[in-house]
Structure 1
Amino acid sequence: MIFPAHCKMVGAADTRPLGKKIYFLSRYLVRQTEAGPEVLEVTPADGPGPMMRGVAEERILAGPGDVAICAEPVNLHNRADLIRRAAASNKRCTIFYGRDEHMTFVLDPDPDVLVPVHVYDIVPPRPHLSETVRELEATGIFGELEVEFVHHLHDIRTTGADIYPCRAAGFSRTLDADRPGDGDLVAGCLTARQLLAECYQGDFSVANICPLDAVREEPFVARCCRSERTGSTTWNGYAGIVVHWGASPREIYEAIGGMVARWRVAR
């Protein structure tokens, strides 16, 4: 697979006002022909020199018959999205244009280069970790990591509990507002067990809803309300990272970025 590291490496060669000279950062050119666009790999002339340089080497990577053009502008930094789109195009090469008219391409797309990162969260209420990852992914901020996210959401309503953790999810009985009664099934985690033991006497059972305890794939990122568990970890034998219940978007991004870097080195 050839996928330029940045769109600044890809130049347009529809017009050549300076003849065969190219911008010194260009490593690839998209050139229109009568049959359609073609993609070339170019090497600028060596040594220090002007902004526009001669071409030392040039070769065609994909001719018009092998090239597709994405019909809509895309986020050029969302590399996982572009790899998947290119793989679905049925062409060896797909050219993409950004909303700012910059462009890039993917040649011989290989979705297997994407590291699957497993995201563990619960719902309701809003699955903060999962939704934040989706929002960040849409910005393209994970682009250079070349990852794809697999979301594992546990709907805690399936526990059939009598009492749930908090009012934010709209449940009629919650541990932060109501006293549990004997025989109640409480949807909760280690923190709920601790609260029950410290504050109430009774015969309670707890349905475990902790996202971290649901981990069954690696590498993973999971949300947990226990601050002592946050950070890089191996849980249930699986490698990953734990972020706090109310982690900020920046904290989530940095946690995933560091975890993926360690994962790639280890593999």
Structure 2
Amino acid sequence: MVFPEDYKVVGISYEDPIEKWEKKAPIYFATKYMIAYLPDGNIKIITVETESTDTLLTKPIKLEIIAEGKEVILHKAEHDAHNRTKLILLAIEDCKGPVNTVIFTGRDKHITFVHKPTMLDVIKIEIIDLIPPEPPWLSFAIQRLVDSGILGELNIVFERTFIDIRQFEGDKIVYPCNASELNGKYLDSDDDIEDGSLLVGCDISRELFELRFPDYTYKQINMCPLRTEFVKPSKPFITRCCQTKKTGLININGHDGVVVHWGASEYDIVDAIRLLVSRLDEDL
């Protein structure tokens, strides 16, 4: 796949760049690609190599056509040119028959293109979270961020893995807090918790249980995404934990991930995702 890293490296020409090159015409120093709209209706997509320079204009030393004619189409609608993941998905939809290149116009009127689009260059990140509520906060917040386009430049898509704690409802089940609205007792509000209960919660829940009921025996199902046996990451991931000291980059089951605090804001989540993507880029 060829997808310019920034539209500032894409030049536009209404003459054939090959002919201009033969005439030794100068070119803008940042240009790496040219889109040539020719008078006969043909469109050429060209890669450009230039001489190094300290000025705004330089000389091209190599031009190579990577797509032209029926291989190239213009996408009809305008989109956020920074939302790379969305443009890749749209280009995949548009590439039918001989078409292998799609030109996009951004809402700011800048131009870019995607040549031979593929999802192989897009990173899949697994969201691991607990339900209820449904959807859980982390998944809900990330979807809002995706819809806003703020993550679009990162070349990522999200998959979701949820741990459903509703499977443990019952009279002698103890949950950390009443926000879950599940059928059971709540560690934060109930005093009539019984000896021999089953605690469905994390390490902090266990500590609180033992502080409140030091003489009770109990069993625990650890539902912390960092500790539970119910889910193991199968790819890069993001999850939550109620302990601030455990937030940040982590590796579980051989996969890099990032942990945000249980009450993380969308700003925190964006920062965490960018941190994870930076780590993954280092590993490439």
Structures share fold, TM-score greater than 0.5: yes
d(CA) in 2 for partners of 1:36 and 1:210?
58
Structure 2: gaps (5+ residues):
none
Summarize the alignment of residues 116-265 of structure 1 with structure 2, pairs less than 5 Å apart: 116-125=124-133, 127-161=136-170, 162-171=173-182, 173-179=185-191, 180-182=193-195, 184-200=197-213, 201-213=215-227, 214-265=231-282
d(CA) in 1 for partners of 2:267 and 2:226?
20
User: Cα offset for 1:188?
Assistant: 1.6
d(CA) in 1 for partners of 2:178 and 2:216?
22
> Measured at CA, do residues 96 and 158 of structure 1 come closer, stay the same or move farther in structure 2, by a change above 3 Å?
farther
d(CA) in 2 for partners of 1:73 and 1:184?
58
Checking the alignment, whether the CA contact within 8 Å between 2:233 and 2:252 is kept in structure 1 is no
- Letter of the 2:11 counterpart: G
Structure 1: gaps (5+ residues):
none
> Measured at CA, do residues 42 and 232 of structure 1 come closer, stay the same or move farther in structure 2, by a change above 3 Å?
closer
User: Cα offset for 1:209?
Assistant: 2.3
d(CA) in 2 for partners of 1:188 and 1:79?
39
- Letter of the 2:44 counterpart: E
Partner of 1:60: 65
What RMSD, in angstroms, separates the aligned Cα atoms of the two structures? 3.1
Checking the alignment, whether the CA contact within 8 Å between 1:4 and 1:105 is kept in structure 2 is yes
d(CA) in 2 for partners of 1:106 and 1:67?
10
User: Cα offset for 1:183?
Assistant: 5.1
d(CA) in 2 for partners of 1:219 and 1:94?
29
d(CA) in 1 for partners of 2:103 and 2:165?
43
> Measured at CA, do residues 225 and 101 of structure 1 come closer, stay the same or move farther in structure 2, by a change above 3 Å?
same
User: Cα offset for 1:151?
Assistant: 1.9
- Letter of the 1:227 counterpart: T
1:74 to 79, 82, 94: 79
d(CA) in 2 for partners of 1:97 and 1:155?
43
Structure 2 residue matching 1:95: 3-state secondary structure: strand
Checking the alignment, whether the CA contact within 8 Å between 1:120 and 1:215 is kept in structure 2 is no
User: Cα offset for 1:143?
Assistant: 4.2
> Measured at CA, do residues 153 and 70 of structure 1 come closer, stay the same or move farther in structure 2, by a change above 3 Å?
farther
User: Cα offset for 1:86?
Assistant: 2.1
User: Cα offset for 1:93?
Assistant: 0.8
Partner of 1:10: 10
Checking the alignment, whether the CA contact within 8 Å between 1:120 and 1:212 is kept in structure 2 is no
User: Cα offset for 1:202?
Assistant: 3.9
Match status 1:87 vs 2:92: yes
Structure 2 residue matching 1:168: 3-state secondary structure: helix
Task: Report % sequence identity.
Answer: 33
Aligned length: 264
